[in-house]
Amino acid sequence: MNIKDLQTVTNDTLKEVRNYDVVTPDFFSDTFYNKATKIDTNLDKDMITRNSSESILDKVIRIQKETKDHTNELKGHIDLATVAIQAKDDKGLGEVKNNIDDLYQRILHLEEQVYLDELTKMQNRKWLFEDILENNTFKRDGALTFVDIDKFKVINDNYGHIAGDKVLVMIAQLTTRLVNSKTVRYGGDEFIIISESSDSTKQKKFFDTVNQNLSKKALTYQGNSFKVGISFGCVDYKAGDNFHDVIEKVDKMMYEHKKARAEQV
């Protein structure tokens, strides 16, 4: 399934589950999987569940609960502050202030979690669509690289999902070495790297170097050794450019790169 299909399936799933008052992780996962198999019948359901639907829903439910708890806690602090003000209790007001400062830090941490992928700790799609885009167009000029891990399904099938997760985390961390950029986990094994400067040539050089370094070293997991590589496409964009048009362009570049890498083997 390519990046455009994944986006379509995700959007269709979210539209459908909004019609239900109660959405369990299993229901969300089954809905996502059923829609995905209409596009690709050879999908690994376990991989889809682990990398997208269930984790997304679990995180949403947890954040909703924590937000509600923080709101109730804030109401309690306001009530205590009102009583302290009426009683002219400076000590009581000081305690309330300390509690509110602590709550404020927890709320900031929660806000950060909303925009982070649970596994890789990179930015997620929500951050991309709210911070970088407005009405599906880019807010500012920049450069975008779309990265796909080569033969990721083979790694999962041969060495297990824990090995696959370790590969995802490793690749994500490598992308952060590109200065003035942010990494987004866009799909299961797909990342988007957004740079503040419009210099896709610099991005391409960086990820060529990443591949060269990866090719020199085999990874080891539970006594098994294997190599990891990435395919990618890089493109500059302007403020106001349509996100889907840019993604379609860079997606084609990535597949051309993947094809060229396969022919070199």
Of the candidates 104, 146, 160, 100, the residue with the CA atom closest to the CA atom of residue 246: 146
Given pLDDT bands bounded at 50, 70 and 90, which one contains residue 106? low
pLDDT digits (tens, 9 = 90+) for 29-77: 667 767 777 776 665 555 555 444 445 555 555 665 666 665 666 666 5
Using 50, 70 and 90 to split pLDDT, how confident is the model at 229? very high
Angstrom distance (rounded) from CA 153 to CA 206: 25
Higher pLDDT, 64 or 239: 239
Least confident piece of the model among 60-69, 128-137, 237-246: 60-69
pLDDT at 54: 42
Residue 222 pLDDT level (bands cut at 50, 70, 90): confident
Task: Kindly tell me if the per-residue pLDDT of 189 is higher than 80.
Answer: yes
Quick check: 240 and 138 in contact, CB under 8 A? yes
Mean pLDDT across the chain, nearest whole number? 78
With beta carbons less than 8 A apart as the criterion, state whether 227 and 214 touch.
Answer: yes
Helix (H) or strand (E) holding 53: none
For tokens 């198999």, the residue is 37
Asked if the model's pLDDT at residue 20 lies above 60, the reply is no
6 or 241, which is more confident? 241
